[in-house]
Amino acid sequence: MTGNKDTSSVLGNNINAIKKILGESSDLQIRNITLKGQDKKAAMLFIDGIVDSDGIQEYIIEPLLTYQIPFFQSDEELLSFMETAVIQTKNMTRVENINLASVELLTGKTLLIVDKCSTFLSTDTTKWNGRSIESAKGQRVAKGPDQGFNENRSTNISLVRKIIKNTNVRVTTKQYGTNTHTDISVMYLENVVDKQVLQTIYDRLDRLHLDAVLEANYIESVLTKESMSFFPLMLNTDRPDVVAAEILEGKIAIFVDGSPYVLIAPAVFIQFFQTPEDYYFSNTGFINTRLIRFCLYFISLYLPGIYVAFMTYHANLLPVKLLVGFVSQRELVPFPTSLEVTILIFVIIAINESSTRLQQNIAVTISIFGGIILGQSAIEAQLVAPASLVIVSLTYILLSVIPIYQLRITGANIILCFVVAGAALGLYGIALLSLLLLVHICSLRSFGVPYLSPFAPFVANDLKDSAIQISLVEMTNDESHFMSEETMEETNEK
């Protein structure tokens, strides 16, 4: 809504103006009352379904109908008295603009309009219907807190505040989206946050020009100018403990109303390999799961491309027995290796998408049918070589060890690029693409922080919580954080 329109002192005119702005919406409820002790009529307006009806009845209607309001000479005295002595809601504001009053209604507020008074009282009676707190779906763990965010922004903030009971926690909220007026909150720890990064986020949010903000990704695409990159520059998580841990390290959390995922900035590459279980299990023995995760991810990136390169250009480098096995499998297969692997990758993506979209009981059937029956049938029909199916299936399994879904999508894109490079130039193409990829990652900055921190540039003190973890005592008591190596102005110029 644009333009300013002052309220009227006539009750009927104000009601008609609001009804006109809302298009005579059928869920706009109007409750006419007469103030006891006053020779004045009043009306309460609210949108049915997004307000607490019982609260309106108990804390607004009953006090207004039962309380003997004394006579006042001015409307200002009357409104002040109702604010302080009659209406019993926790929050209340004054509105003197019709358009703003309509927005207040759409956010779940109840308007009290008194005849011959041009100022409205807006009371907080919001009650949105939503999910209760459930287990996190994006990052499941075998041990640790089993709570996840839901679509209510206030609830999500309260879950983080329950973990961080610190007076330095700051939360600022503002509405964005011309049509949706979505509440977006920025949460950080005042004494450790990078003020320059914080100001940059505020500036970019202020320049946000979108008609609708429906999910956190709308904000992420605006805040990261390097959004054309395959690599995510902000972390997405639906776990309160992860958000709390990141805030304690000086990161900034962005909560979007209607989204169960919270954005974390800045983010570096190694963060996408970390899971809460890394800190909830004792780090003893020879097996380091995070390092294994790191290695398996890079194996999954290269495996299909190297397979295509060897089968297309470098078959003579393979051991004789392995080469004979591959050649015998490919005698009756109609497609070249590169096309065969590409088709299999897209088939697995299709199976994954269908199992995600369908009902749960049907999704299990589709997964079994697609993964076992379809694969076996394709081999028996001599449409694909068994080795190609094994390579692609193994790649998908290795890629799935990454806890953050964003990086899995990045991995799928890179895998296809390596397949094309291997089919075009063999191992030379893969080496060249690896060099270009390394240069690209090294050039990335997440709000001024190098994406490969703490490896490039090398910061020995920050290696305590990177590929290999040290003791929790040293990590939690460490005051060092990933720091910007350049100003935000230098980052923006790139």
The DSSP string of 412-470 is HHHHHHHHHHHHHHTHHHHHHHHHHHHHHHHH-EETTEETTTTTTTT-GGGGGBSSSB-
Q: Indicate the SS3 state at residue 262.
A: strand
Q: 10 Å Cβ neighbour count for 85?
A: 12
pLDDT tens for the 494 residues of the chain, in order: 444 467 777 888 889 999 998 888 888 999 998 888 777 889 999 998 888 888 898 889 888 888 888 888 788 888 888 888 888 888 889 998 898 888 889 888 999 999 888 889 999 888 877 777 888 887 887 777 888 898 888 889 999 999 998 889 999 999 888 888 888 999 999 988 988 889 888 988 888 888 888 888 888 888 887 567 889 999 999 999 999 989 998 899 999 998 899 999 899 898 888 888 777 776 666 667 888 888 999 999 999 999 999 989 988 888 888 888 888 887 778 888 899 999 888 888 887 777 777 766 666 666 666 667 777 777 777 788 888 888 998 999 899 888 888 898 899 999 999 999 999 999 999 999 999 999 999 888 888 888 888 887 777 666 666 666 666 665 565 555 555 655 545 555 55
243 close to 262: Cβ distance less than 8 angstroms: yes
For residues 169 and 244, what is the distance between their CA atoms, to the nearest angstrom? 11
The Cα 110–Cα 130 span in angstroms is 20
Q: Which residues pair with 124 in a beta bridge?
A: 109
In the 8-state DSSP scheme, what is residue 47?
E
Rounded Cα distance, 167 and 185, in Å = 17
* Residue 178 DSSP one-character state: T
* Half-sphere CA count of 328, side-chain side, radius 13 A: 6
Spacing of C-alpha 215 from chain mean position: 7
Q: What is the DSSP letter of 133?
A: P
Tokens of 477: 């008591």
Q: Six-digit token pair at 484? A: 């910007």
**Residue ranges of E strands in 298-446:** 445-446
Burial (CB count <10 Å: 0-12, 13-18, 19+), residue 147: middle
Whether 337 contacts 308, CB under 8 Å: yes
* DSSP-derived 3-state class of residue 70: coil
Under DSSP, the state recorded for 484 is: -
CB distance 188 to 246 below 8 Å: no
What's the confidence (pLDDT) of residue 70? 84
Q: How far is CA 279 from the centre of its chain?
A: 22
Spatial separation of the C-alpha atoms in residues 157 and 133, rounded to whole Å: 13
**Separation between Cα atoms, residue 381 and residue 358, nearest integer Å:** 28
416 — alpha (psi -120 to 50), left (phi > 0) or beta?
A: alpha
Instruction: State the residue for tokens 């490969």.
Output: 452
Q: Where are the alpha helices (H) located in 107-207, listed in sequence order?
A: 153-163, 195-206
pLDDT at 1: 42
pLDDT, position 438:
93
Q: What contacts 313, CB < 8 A, 6 or more positions away?
A: 425, 426, 427
Long-range contacts of 32-36 (CB under 8 A, 24+ apart): 33/61, 33/64, 33/65, 35/64, 35/69, 35/114, 36/64, 36/65, 36/66, 36/67, 36/68, 36/69
Q: Give me the long-range contacts of 288-292 (CB less than 8 A, separation at least 24).
A: 288/467, 288/468, 288/469, 290/467, 290/468, 290/469, 291/467, 291/468, 292/401
